[in-house]
Each structure stands twice: as structure tokens, then as C-alpha cells.
Structure 1
Amino acid sequence: MKTVVTAQQMRDAERAVWDADPDVDLMTRAAAGVARVADEMAPEGPVLVVVGPGNNGGDGLFAAATLAESREVLLWLAAGRAHDEGLAAARSAGCREVGDPASARARLADASLVIDAFTGLGARPGLPPDVATFAAACEAWQVPVLAVDQPSGLGTDGGPVGHSFNATVTATFAARKPCHVVEPAASRCGDVVVQDIGVPVPATDLRILEESDLANWWPTPDAASDKYSRGVVLLDTGSERYAGAALLGISGALHAGAGMVRYAGGAPSGLVLGRFPSVVLGEGRAQAAVVGSGWGEPDEARMARAVELGLPLVVDADALGVLPDGGMEGWLLTPHAGELARLLGVGRDEVEADPLGAAREAARRHGATVLLKGAAQYVAEPSGRVTVAVRGPNWTAQAGSGDVLAGICGTLLAAGLPAWKAAAMGASVQALAAQRHPGPYPPDRLTEFLPTVVANLDA
């Protein structure tokens, strides 16, 4: 997994490096990385650098000096002042300045790349009007933008998104920051490239799951395995009206590798067995259960029966409306933003503005792990630790994807994984299936790709 650090954590890590060796020049290391990425993005043609007044601008200026050795580089000193040493280096290398915002916008017509070095680490959301207008013009002209550390206009630690650059690529240093992985800011960062500048970063309570983690952790059978050791998952999902939710959850569970699936929900048994003849009807020995998908409405009696099972539960959809007052340790709640808003008694817009904070609060309040579903998916534990799942294409934003995901997570819980791993791995493997088979596949078709994805995790 990769660590994500806040602005203050990054400052502390940099300070530790300087304390150990005061002569370390982190700015030139960062600038060299920016210049490399710039050359990869646009090997030729004029480069226009938007220069801010602080160290981020200094990174951009030293990168400009390197780039000017082989191409035309223009500087817009958007704040009217700049890092003194960086500006001297850029001027000495032959960089030329554009004098005003209108001139800067005019040069977009022939620019091959814009480097956004206006604000960086620790910045707050928002841009001055002239810079906001320029950022919008970059989008209108479809000029590639390389952001230094983070797109200017975003807050490093996340938060609301107003006027900001929409980066094609963001070159950040040492580790990702919250704005790179948490929506709505993350969508403005483009592809994030982490540059090693020799700053060790500490472990934090926010990290990103990688495909290699799935390969290391996915439960695989051995010669001694049987259906019970692989995990039996019980699904109380579906209804006469929403029988499809039951089928989707069962499909997710089976294709993720369940040793056995039991079904005790409200969908017609003939429909279930006609599609999945290996399913065993009724309750019985199981290691985890999935409840709520396709119930049609909150059902206190069904929830009470689920609680009495004494199993780790995946609680989805309608079951989220009838949670018990406590005793949810080891459970996994799987709300989307609207459901999480109802759990917290806030507006959906509040959840979408601060998804990390909302997921953490729900996990703390209920004493359960929370998987907040959406374009980016966050797994929050009661301790406050959050894991960001592998991100998939937006094609998965369709009815039924959550039903499949609940089944996948149920299989992983039944295999003995802790709730946070089951959630992060379940969301990630579904995302990988969609990545590797892009397009508008319905959720039940995507489940058919899960075995191949799982089998190739080590490839």
C-alpha cells in the first residue's frame, strides 16, 4: 500500500531531512522531476510556466531553466513576484516572460504544455480572478497541464473545489496528498506521478491499496481446502420485486471464490436455483452473511434474524435503515453517498464535499467498518484509518454494481479476512474487472470476469 500524507505531515518529513543535512536541496530535486515529466508529456514545442510567489513557483522556475536548454520556455509571473534564485536561474537559461494575463492567454494558441506552478503544498482552495480565467482558458484550448505538486486552486488536504486548474498530469513529491485521492479534488489531478526526492514519509491513517496487495492477500485454496475452509457465505437479499439483487449478489459471491453460497432471502427459489444450481437454500453453517440488497424497504424482523446469526455481516441498501444500536464490531456497512447522508442525518452534498470525514464519522459512530461507494471508494475503520480502493472506470456507475460488490465482500469476510480488507479488496477487484473489460457491461457480465482477474493477480 502507498501512504498518503497531509500538508503538515509532508512539512514534518521535509524538516527531518533538513535537520539531518542542512545542505540538502529538495527544490532542485523536485524541479528535475518536473522537467522529466514535462519532456515526457510534450517532447517539443513551447512551454508556458505559470509561476506563483512561493516554493511551488521556485520548483517551476528551476524546471523551466532545465527545459530552456532545449526549447522555448515562457514565464508568467502570475503573482507579480517569484522565488528569487529560481527566477534568476530561469532568466539566465533564456526563459522569456509574458507581461500580463491577456498575453499569457494568447500564448496558449501555440503552447505544447502549461506547467502550473502557482500554489502548492498547504494551499487553500481557490484562485485569484486572473489565474482562474487562465485555468479555464487552458481547458477551453485543451492545452495539456502539468501541475507541480497539486493543481493550483485545490486544498492540499482536500475540501471543496471551486476555480482550479484541471491537470492532465500532477507531479507530486515523496507521497500522494489527500487532494490526489479524495473526491471531488482527485478528479482535477489527472494522472498522479510521485517523484522520489529523498524524503522518507511516515505511516499515516490514509493509504491507497495497490494491485500487488490483492495478489498478496487474496485467499487461495490449497490441497487441504474444502468448501467450509474456503468460506460459506449466507445471503438474505432480494425480494419478489427485486429478485435481481439476489442473483447479482450470489453471482458476485460465487465468482469471487466462495466455498459455498447459502440463500435465505425473498427471491423465488426456482429463479435462484435455475441460475445458480450450486446454491444451497436456507440457513445453515456459514462464516459470514450479506443482508439488505433488494429488500425493497427496511425490515426490522429480517435485520433481527441476521443479528441473531452472530456472524460478520455485510450490511447493504435497505438494511442500513435498521441498524442495531451497537454490537457491530467486525461488520461492514456499504452505503453510497445518499445512504451515508441518511445514516449521519446530513445532506448528501455534505457527504460529497467531505467523503473521508463522513465515512470516518459513520465508522466511529457505529463501531463498524464503512465502505463508501462511488467513483472513488473509501474504507473507513472505527479507529479512523482509511484505505482507498483501486479505482475503476465510471462505467460501473449503474444499478446492480453495489449488489455484486456486497456479494464479493461477503465471500472475503467468510474466508476470514477482516472487514477493512474484505471491503478494500472487494471494491478493488471489481474495479480491476471493469478496467480490463472496459465498456458498458451490465454488472452480471462483469462478475464473469472476476475469476480471470483473481487468477492473474500474480501475473
Structure 2
Amino acid sequence: MTACDHRHQLFTVDQVRALDRRAIEELGVAGYELMQRAAAAALVCLQQHWPRARRIAVYCGPGNNGGDGYLLASMAREAGLQAVVIALDASRGDDAIRARHEFEQAGGTVIRWHQDEPLPVVDVQVDALFGTGLRRALAPDVAELVRRMQANGAPVLALDVPSGVNADSGAVPGEAVSASVTVSFIAAKRGLYTGQAPGHVGQIQLEPLGLPEGLWQGVEADAELMQAHTLPPRPRQAHKGNNGHVLAIGGEHGTAGAIRLCGEAALRAGAGLVSVATRGEHLVALNSARPELMAHEVDGMQALAPLLQRATVLAVGPGLGQGAWGHALWLAALDAALPLVLDADGLNLLAREPRPLSGTAVLTPHPGEAARLLGQDTAAIAADRFAAARELARRYRAVVVLKGAGSLVAAPDGRVAVCPWGNPGMASGGMGDLLTGIIAALLAQGCDAWQAAVLGTGLHARAGDLAARQGGERGLLAGDLLGPLRLLLNGRES
């Protein structure tokens, strides 16, 4: 295994620091050499993305991230570019001081940042203010610099981490750089792929700096980045009974759309049969719009019982409500001890009435639902999505999909997978109902809870991206994902 094989592994800040120390102490790569390698990789990245750039401004902080910036500026000058450095303060640490000294000795210009001075007009800006260690909001003067950088209009290359982004959690507690490209050194930092971070990192380019495979031996990544997968082709002799029977339960008065989207997604994701247990007023609409769904009027637990006997997987929650009807069906579904996916009011009822989940279960909360399940507020969830997802999985002994930008899938054993796909157009009604149906269909076709959640989350997000490419993000509807979903499940992307 080489360093490049680690591109799908995600590490905490402490793990990356340990890898950095290991490279220095055990592999004999000096800290200053690592800084030189990082600067050289960053310059190559800059020239790849902006080959016509001739003038760059490098914004340097006092630490090693700033040292990377000084060396990048030196190398850019040697390559014939005009490079000016804007510094926050004096450099600290032997390597950073040495990097600044070499830049100045070679004739480079360092300008001390002052709010009264305009920023230079350049083709590309380089953010080398703060690296992985920053967990707090930027100081007011630095926040003002970041606002000026954004107003400048020139694209930004961030070194390792966009300043102001928490590389561990993905939280952004204050102002933060919005980069066009982030070049991340040695190993991928888990926080750059979830929470608020995806709105700041732009395109992430991982540079392992030529370090040997021995650096990673014995180091277990904290999480993994999902890869694009689908189900294998079906055997020619397959029939509908081989692919499971999903029972979607929900659709209180006025919410036929939620349960229809869930059921139709289960069909499009390959379930052999899909039944819907809902209010009688919805039957005509469901039968006329999607006759492949077997819609049943269910007015209570007694009417639900025969449907539960025929089902192999349950999808519970879309449009369920929290009234007496929804509560009764929820209780019956949980008592059935069938594999199930819980979403929406299925989760709200669980938060209101905690109880153990027997057997295979996948929970799909958004941050608000996660907060209710954990007895916290949404700010606490946003502050550490990894911890929240892991605690939900542990507490409920279920696989959990914590939705949002960079959705996380967590298992009770501590595993976490991060979804790198999805787009802002998916922030619209009905998207969660689709995900519930997709995961339920994958369970019905033989996936275990972890496989179904990871594959389903990835397919859902990729379908959203494919639909957005076809028609744009704004105005994207949940139903627009069904066609692309079918293509992806069959190994086709267009």
C-alpha cells in the first residue's frame, strides 16, 4: 500500500499530527523538508488550476502554515511569478522563521497586514493563515482580512485547511475563507468533508508529499470516504420474491406525497414488492399515480397486522405524524421485529418515547431530529457531527445516517463513512423520504444495515448530483432523482 492508497481514509487532526511526527522522528524526514515538499506541491496545484496566473498574493500566519506560504512564495518567484506576502505577525517556530527569512533574503516583499491598506490586485490568492490547529473563531482583525480576501474576487488556494474551518469537525464558528481549491497535505482531514466545511473547501486535492507506506502502518483511520458502488447484476432467473417486500408506513391526513415518494423510491431502488400502509383518503391518488405500489387503507394496529406478516422490511415515518394513529402504527412496526428504516416522525416518536430497537435498524435523522434523540440542541450536533453520529449509533444500537452536507453513516462499533456527494439543490422537501425508501429496498435485497445505509446514502446523493447536472440545482425536486437513481443502480451514469 502506498500513500496514494489512503485517499479514501479520513483522519483526525491529532492523527495527522502524529503522522507528521512519525515522518520526522521515525522516517527521518526533517520538518523543514516536509514544509518544502508541501510548498512545492501547492505550487504545482496552483499552476494546474490557474496556468495563466502571473501575480499571486500569499497571506501568511505566524505558524507552520505560514511557513508553507513563505516557501510557496519563494518557489513562485523562482518560477517567474510575481509573489507578494501579506503577514499577520512575526513568524514563530524554527521552520516558519527560517522560511520567512529565506523569502526575504531572496528579495521577497512582506507587507504587514493593516486594515487601512488595500489588498493587492492579483490573479490568485493563497490562504496560509492558519492550519489544522485552529478550533476557535478567527480574531476580529483576521476575520476582516478574510472578508477583504473574499471581496477581492480573485480565486483562493487554501493550504491544508481554509482558515476558520475546524479540520476535525467541519464546524465554522465565525468568518472563514471560501477557497476554490484546498490542497491538503499528508492525509485527508475528516472535518473538511462534512458540516459547514463543504461550503468553504472548494475542490480538495490530497498531496501525501511522497511519504512511504511505512508511515501509515498500524494507524487506523478515524473514518472513510464513500466510494461509488452499486449492486451486482441480478441473475437471469431472478423473480420478485428474491428481492424482498418493503412495507412503507405513513401518510397521515394531508401527507400522501411523503409516503408515495418513499414507496416509489423503494421500487426504483429494486425492491421486488412495495406495499403502503396509509390513510384511506390517499388510495385513489396513490393507485392512479403509481399503480405498482400496493396501497392499503390502515386505520389502526389490527388492519396493519396482515401487512406486517407479508413484509420483509419496514420503512416507517414519512408523513406518519405523532398523533394517535401514527403512534399506534409505530408501536406495531417496532414490535414486529422486522428490519426497518426509521425516519421523520418515526424518529420524533422514538425521541419522545425511547425504547430499544430489536434486530436490524437504520435511523436517518437530520440534525434537528438527531438533537431530539440525544436531548441536545442543533448547535451541539453541528459542533461535532462525528461524535453525535457515533453516540446515536451506540445509544440505539442501530446504523445511523446523520443527514446534511457530507452525510455521515455511523455503526454501533464506531465505524463512520462520509458521503462526498450531494448538492444544495437537494435541500428541498421529500429528499429524506426518498432516502428512507432506497435504504429499505437495499435491505430487502440482502444488504446488511451498514451496507444498505452506506450504499443508499451514496446512491441518493449521486442521483441528486446527476439530476442537477441535467437541469441545474435550483428547482430540483425529490422526484427528479428517481430516473438518475435507476441509471446508477444499473451501472450507468447517463
TM-score for the superposition, normalised by structure 2: 0.85
The aligned counterpart of 1:402 is: 432
The aligned counterpart of 2:316 is: 291
The aligned counterpart of 1:120 is: 131
SS of structure 1 residue aligned to 2:165: coil
Q: Which among 57, 60, 63 is matched to residue 69 of structure 2?
A: 60
Cα distance in structure 1, aligned partners of 2:373 and 2:190: 24
Do residues 447 (structure 1) and 482 (structure 2) align? yes
Cα distance in structure 1, aligned partners of 2:246 and 2:26: 53
Check conservation: 2:248, 2:315, Cα contact below 8 A.
yes
Q: Which amino acid aligns with 2:289?
A: R
The aligned counterpart of 2:342 is: 315
Counting only pairs closer than 5 Å after superposition, residues 39-50 of structure 1 correspond to structure 2 as 39-43=47-51, 44-50=53-59
Moved more, 231-240 or 276-285: 276-285
1:52-93: per-residue Cα shift (whole Å, max 9, x none)?
A: 222212211221111112111001221222513312332354
Counting only pairs closer than 5 Å after superposition, residues 375-414 of structure 1 correspond to structure 2 as 375-414=405-444
Counting only pairs closer than 5 Å after superposition, residues 46-445 of structure 1 correspond to structure 2 as 46-69=55-78, 70-81=80-91, 83-102=96-115, 106-108=118-120, 110-158=121-169, 159-199=171-211, 200-201=215-216, 202-211=219-228, 214-215=229-230, 218-266=231-279, 268-281=282-295, 283=307, 284-298=309-323, 299-323=326-350, 325-438=355-468, 439=472, 440-445=475-480
Do residues 6 (structure 1) and 12 (structure 2) align? yes
1:181-237: per-residue Cα shift (whole Å, max 9, x none)?
A: 1212342222211112134443323221122xx14xx25312242222223222112
1:336-392: per-residue Cα shift (whole Å, max 9, x none)?
A: 122222212222232233332222222221111221222331112222322112321
**C-alpha displacement of 1:281:** 4.8
**C-alpha displacement of 1:450:** 1.2
Cα distance in structure 1, aligned partners of 2:406 and 2:477: 19
**C-alpha displacement of 1:261:** 1.3
Check conservation: 2:338, 2:359, Cα contact below 8 A.
no
Residues 376 and 21 of structure 1, relative CA distance in 2, 3 Å threshold: closer
Cα distance in structure 1, aligned partners of 2:357 and 2:374: 18
Moved more, 26-35 or 232-241: 232-241
Residues 425 and 457 of structure 1, relative CA distance in 2, 3 Å threshold: farther
Moved more, 441-450 or 3-12: 441-450
Q: Percent identity?
A: 33
**C-alpha displacement of 1:409:** 0.8
Check conservation: 2:251, 2:278, Cα contact below 8 A.
yes
SS of structure 2 residue aligned to 1:332: strand
Residues 114 and 208 of structure 1, relative CA distance in 2, 3 Å threshold: same
Do residues 30 (structure 1) and 30 (structure 2) align? no
Instruction: Count matched residues.
Output: 453
Check conservation: 2:160, 2:182, Cα contact below 8 A.
yes
Q: Which amino acid aligns with 1:206?
A: A
TM-score for the superposition, normalised by structure 1: 0.91
Check conservation: 1:161, 1:185, Cα contact below 8 A.
no
Q: Which among 14, 22, 27 is matched to residue 21 of structure 1?
A: 27
Check conservation: 2:265, 2:437, Cα contact below 8 A.
yes
**C-alpha displacement of 1:258:** 1.4
Residues 329 and 306 of structure 1, relative CA distance in 2, 3 Å threshold: same
Computed over aligned residues only, the root mean square deviation of the Cα atoms, in angstroms, reads: 2.3
Moved more, 53-62 or 120-129: 120-129
Residues 9 and 163 of structure 1, relative CA distance in 2, 3 Å threshold: same
Cα distance in structure 2, aligned partners of 1:209 and 1:169: 20
Cα distance in structure 2, aligned partners of 1:219 and 1:260: 19
Q: Which runs of 4+ in 1 moved over 6 A?
A: none
Residues 274 and 219 of structure 1, relative CA distance in 2, 3 Å threshold: farther
**C-alpha displacement of 1:126:** 2.7
The aligned counterpart of 2:300 is: none
SS of structure 1 residue aligned to 2:278: coil
Residues 246 and 153 of structure 1, relative CA distance in 2, 3 Å threshold: closer
Residues 124 and 240 of structure 1, relative CA distance in 2, 3 Å threshold: closer
SS of structure 2 residue aligned to 1:107: coil
Cα distance in structure 2, aligned partners of 1:451 and 1:164: 38
Q: Which amino acid aligns with 1:432?
A: R
Check conservation: 1:287, 1:415, Cα contact below 8 A.
no
Check conservation: 2:179, 2:200, Cα contact below 8 A.
yes
1:405-433: per-residue Cα shift (whole Å, max 9, x none)?
A: 11111101112222232222222212212
SS of structure 2 residue aligned to 1:264: strand
Q: Which runs of 5+ in 2 are unaligned?
A: 1-6, 297-306
**C-alpha displacement of 1:458:** 8.2
Cα distance in structure 1, aligned partners of 2:107 and 2:279: 74
The aligned counterpart of 2:4 is: none
Check conservation: 1:429, 1:450, Cα contact below 8 A.
yes
SS of structure 1 residue aligned to 2:46: helix
1:250-278: per-residue Cα shift (whole Å, max 9, x none)?
A: 11111111122122333533332323333
